[in-house]
Amino acid sequence: MAEPGPELFQGLPALSLSLPCGDHLLVMLHGAHVVSWVSGGRERLYLSPRSRFDGHSAIRGGVPLCFPQFNQRGPLPRHGFFRNLPWHADGPPVLMPELARQSLRLPASAATRAFWPQAFEANLTLELRPGSLLITLDLHNTDGVPLGFTGALHTYLAVDDIASVQLDGLDGQAEWDALTDRHGQAAGPLRFPDEFDRVYVAAPGPLVLHDGEERLRIEQSPGFAHTVVWNPGAEKGAQLADLPADGHAHMLCVEAAQVMQAIALPAGGTWQGWQRLSVA
């Protein structure tokens, strides 16, 4: 079993976890951003080859932490600041034959107070098992006043061809189409012939992504009330400078999220949200 430790990826410090079965995880200290999860001999996350690794910009792909604000739903920069600041390893990793775990920490500091006056501590825990990745975010309000936030684990899943992908499990859930500003109800499995940007009330059971012969099971905690499904499509994808021309065809974002209503965390309180990805 490989011993994790600081290394460089695209010139920035990163930590890796590996299991004897060959499963492997790589997380950047910049933004606590997971950029690779290899399971069953296949990369399961999409990372754009045009991503900027300058230590300041958000990285396109992997699993960005969009906290403590989703998109532009508030006064903070788009998708907040968690993904743009350096995190620190919270102790050594746990290493076992069937489990590897690493936690990272972001406490309130002068850098966070430049965006947000709130006192807090955030912890991201990554748990790698054969065929499975569990990403857990804990947010502790260390302030004397309530903390309000939205956000998402903005997971970019790698797919062979978006035109052939199907997502099951959201049938019957309340749906908001951000492209048309229409509210409705999801019907049947989701397919992605063009740009797609919708927010769903989270389903009570797991979702299943069908990508050719591959199946990926997607679960999320009750701490996230919503699931966001997004693909920019060919036209909008071509407008994104950090995405190649065919990038949209090889990714689908399925995000554990809190979008419509902010979570109110009382002084001294702790919130937890997670997403589990499992090769089916």
Listed in sequence order, the residues at least 6 apart from 160 whose beta carbon sits closer than 8 Å to its beta carbon are 211, 212, 214, 250
CA nearest neighbour of 221 among 191, 189, 194, 255: 255
Q: Known catalytic residue: 250?
A: no
Q: Which residues contact 161 (CB under 8 A, 6 or more apart)?
A: 212, 249, 250
Structure tokens at 45: 């996350």
Closest-CA residue to 276 (of 93, 95, 44): 44
Are the CB atoms for 278 and 164 separated by under 8 Å?
no
Cis bond leading into 68, ω under 30°? yes
Q: Which two tokens stand for residue 69?
A: 């604000």
| Residue 140: strand, helix, or coil | strand
Question: Residue 80: beta bridge partners?
Answer: 67
Among residues 30, 79, 140, 154, which one is catalytic? 154
Using DSSP's 3-state secondary structure scheme, residue 91 falls into coil
How many other CB atoms sit within 10 Å of the CB of residue 185? 12
Q: Report the b/e string of 102-133 with b at 16+ CB within 10 A.
A: bbbbbebeeebeebbebbbebbbbbbbbbbbb
Running DSSP on this structure, what letter comes out for residue 164? G
154 annotated active-site: yes
- Residues classed as catalytic: 154, 255
